[in-house]
Structure 1
Amino acid sequence: MATGKHVMDVHLGNFQESVIEISRQVPVVVDFWAPWCGPCRALGPVLEKLAEEYGGRFLLAKINSDENPELSREYQVRGIPAVKAFRDGRVVDEFTGALPESAVRQFIERLLPPPGDEWRREALLLLERGETAQAEALLHKALEANPGNDRARLELARMAVHGGRFADAEALVTAMSPTFRMEPEVSGVMALIGFAGAVKDAPDLPALAGIITASKGDERALAMYQRAARLVLQGDLEGALEQLMDMVERHRSYQDDLARKTVLQVFALLGNQGALVDRFRTRLSRALF
């Protein structure tokens, strides 16, 4: 049972609101526990003490794993206590077992947002309202406060991509730490930059359509790829996937399986989920096997 202002009991019914959504504003530490678990009884008071000590800089969510088997399965809880830290709607760190307070404190410190990150979060709200100039200014302010704030850099890179400033976006990605560049969101930005490069010297869509009809071999495959890239940049991901699937079926060997790899990049842009991804993933499997 939760004790303290910054500790809450969470179950399947309120998990989305209490963990996923709140973690977009403040980090949430989820403690999977059970009443019969001895180590849980040792770790729980430590987590609760730190939640109060940090005064709301993170929130603690207590989940009874026996009463919420669906959540335990979804988050692959194989032993308890299992602690998973959520930020921006996803798990960013975790540990299993009862750690000493010093180790738990280090875990919390890694989770807390960097200095100036409140400006990045305010910028995200401004972007939702379409106030791009103000949002960009706040993101630069966040970076000035902490040059290591790669999440602020990522948002600036996204804005640069949407504004057609692909060289600026690439420079921002290059400035990120090697570890952060492995994040899926960064891969999505790099995919868009790659698509921009593919269409830089490509003819317009009517001309490309003519090439696709008339040309053969590698030239035809290149034209199909460039058409798909242009459709991605125009926001027509369904049209791009249709074009890429035609390319998979007709020019599978071109550029070391480029068509299949590009289909996977578009899936990543779609968050690897949704009806469109499911439909084309099925079609891709049939084409490959």
Structure 2
Amino acid sequence: MQPRNSRLNSSALRGAVDLAAVKAAGEAAQKAEQARVERARQAAAAEAAGVAPVQSAYPLVIDVTEDTFETEVVQRSTEVPVVIDFWAEWCEPCKQLSPMLERLAEEYAGRIVLAKIDVEANQLLTQQFGIQGVPAVMAVVAGQLVPLFQGAENEANVRKVLDQLILVAEQRFGVVGGAGAPAEASGEADPYPPEDPALAAAHEALDRGDLGGAVQAYRNVLAEEPGNTEAKLGLAQAQLLSRVEGQDLSTVRAAAAADPKDVEAQLRAADLDLVGGHVEDAFGRLVATVGRTFGEDRDTVRLRLLELFEVIGTDDPRVTAARGALARVLF
């Protein structure tokens, strides 16, 4: 495997304009959280009963070197998602993040493996992965590199990233970890409540192409529930589709290529890139535009990039990677 050039083979993990996929992703995130709670409950029950927990068939936390990378990371990633923690002895944030990752690897009980790489002792791997600073966290699933995040993160955000990684591994690559995944309960009622009628109306407006009506309907939902993630995603999608309506792809791309400093041209091209499923191209275009603009123009591009993050979903690994790139050009 050549880490520098590795990338996910699939197109968007969550379709840029597929509302059903957005809804499914939200439900999947809920299920992942329920699975985590159930794992913790089972572990507590086992401890109270004096029963030893089920052990994974492989170590859950391993130190990896350049010599063992192929076996311990690439080959292992066909069986279980391998999360890579790039760290250094001198790195203060690493001293908080690394123990948290180790604890979470044990808690997830075989659904991920944590590979720890000392960047000072493994400089070739550090260069191949393009590591610019530590801590940096990536994953390998079925031999494919998945950027996760760079810098210190709180535990709640790390859990969300890990849950999303596990879902991607299972749904896209068929990679399911070993021990620790709770058995599916049979005969139980559906844990998800019926859909909010106001949200359903917004979805229906979007489905029939009433973009203005959809935008207003999603805003109505958010006025009542500002934290409604599904409504935020739906609003971002409806606004995106409104912006690209009637745009000619070849004309827009030609204008963007002719003048990289033309902010409006870059915004239009990024919108069309995203609708076409070229998520990383859209993000990269706007990050580069942020890097060469100033003042109000820079703020306009930055805000548009944040809107596009909402379209894809803030837990998506490509959004995490783009956030890191954005931070680097801003600071």
Q: Same fold (TM over 0.5)?
A: no
Q: Normalised by the size of structure 2, how large is the TM-score?
A: 0.39
Higher RCO (CA-CA < 8 Å; seq separation 6+): 2
**What TM-score do the two structures reach when normalised by structure 1?**
0.44
